[in-house]
Amino acid sequence: MQISIKKTSLVVAVMAMAAVGAYAALQRSEPMQAPAVAQVEDPDAVKVSIGQTFATTPDVFDLPAASNRLAKARLDGYAVCTQSDEATAAQYVDVSVMLDKAVKHVAQFQRAVNGVMDSKSGMTDCDFRVISVIAQVSASG
């Protein structure tokens, strides 16, 4: 079987045109986006934000959400608190002292603490750290 030069040239030309078309289409398409990466927050910035949120909107402050946010923060790649461990007995005692020192947003601070204490899982390490932040806001008169 012999293929004529004319047919071979035609096939090569069609293939070249298809390649040029494909290349042009690739050039017009949008560049590939890198997959979204979750932004890791600085724990100190998270604590400041939590304190500001409690200070400005204490009636709607969500302690579990703040605790989750702090749990995701990292310092040099390490977690600053854990939600898998319950707070220590000393931390529970510290919270009772914090409640006694509250002079501002007292009812809202008490409500936030009661919400944690009434939960089935009790107070986690991260909950305690959030309570410590909002206690500073409540203690500043």
What residues does each domain of the chain span? 43-139
What's residue 10's pLDDT?
54
pLDDT > 80? residue 54: yes
What's residue 55's pLDDT?
96
State the number of CA atoms in the 13 A half-sphere of 60 facing the CB.
3
What's residue 28's pLDDT?
60
pLDDT > 60? residue 19: no
Q: What is the pLDDT of residues 58-78, one digit of tens each?
A: 999 999 999 999 999 999 989
Distance CA 37, CA 24 (A): 31
Average pLDDT of every residue of the chain: 83
* Cβ 83 vs Cβ 125: under 8 Å: yes
* Cβ 71 vs Cβ 126: under 8 Å: yes
